[in-house]
Structure 1
Amino acid sequence: MKHTLSVLVEDESGALSRIAGLFSRRGFNIDSLAVGPAESWGHSRLTMVVEGDDHALEQVTKQLDKLINVLTVVDLTSIPAVERELMLLKVAASPESRSAIFDLVHVFRAKVVDVADDAVTLEVVGDPGKLVALERLMAPFGILEIARTGKVALERASGVNTELLKVTAGTKRVPA
Structure 2
Amino acid sequence: MSEEKSERHVLAVLVDNEAGVLARVVGLFSGRGYNIESLTVAEVDHAEHTSRITVATSGTPMVIAQIKAQLERLVPVHKVVDLTVQAPSVEREMALVKVAGTGEKRVEALRLSDAFRARVIDTTHTSFIFEVTGTPEKIDAFVGLMRGLGLVDVTRTGVVSIARGPEAM
Is 1:64 matched up with 2:77?
Answer: no
Is 1:33 matched up with 2:39?
Answer: yes
* 2:54 corresponding residue in structure 1: 47
Alpha-carbon distance, 1:97 to partner: 2.5
Amino acid of the structure 2 residue aligned with 1:61 = K
TM-score, structure 2 length as denominator? 0.89
Task: Tell me the alpha carbon deviations over residues 65-111 of structure 1, each in whole angstroms, 9 at most, x when there is no partner.
Answer: 11111111000112300100001000012144322111111110110
Structure 1 runs (4+) deviating above 3 angstroms are none
Equivalent residue pairs, number = 159
TM-score, structure 1 length as denominator? 0.86
Amino acid of the structure 2 residue aligned with 1:155 = A
Selected match of 1:149 from 134, 140, 157: 157
Is 1:14 matched up with 2:20?
Answer: yes
Alpha-carbon distance, 1:25 to partner: 1.5
* 2:143 corresponding residue in structure 1: 135
Q: Secondary structure at the match of 2:62?
A: helix
CA–CA separation in structure 1 for the residues paired with 2:113 and 2:31: 42
CA–CA separation in structure 2 for the residues paired with 1:37 and 1:24: 23
Q: Secondary structure at the match of 1:44?
A: strand
CA–CA separation in structure 2 for the residues paired with 1:37 and 1:158: 21
Gaps of 5+ in 2: 1-6
Selected match of 1:5 from 3, 11, 35: 11
* 2:81 corresponding residue in structure 1: 74
Selected match of 2:96 from 85, 88, 92: 88
CA–CA separation in structure 1 for the residues paired with 2:101 and 2:15: 43
Q: Percent identity?
A: 41
Gaps of 5+ in 1: 160-176
Amino acid of the structure 1 residue aligned with 2:74 = L
Alpha-carbon distance, 1:40 to partner: 4.9
| CA-based RMSD | 1.4
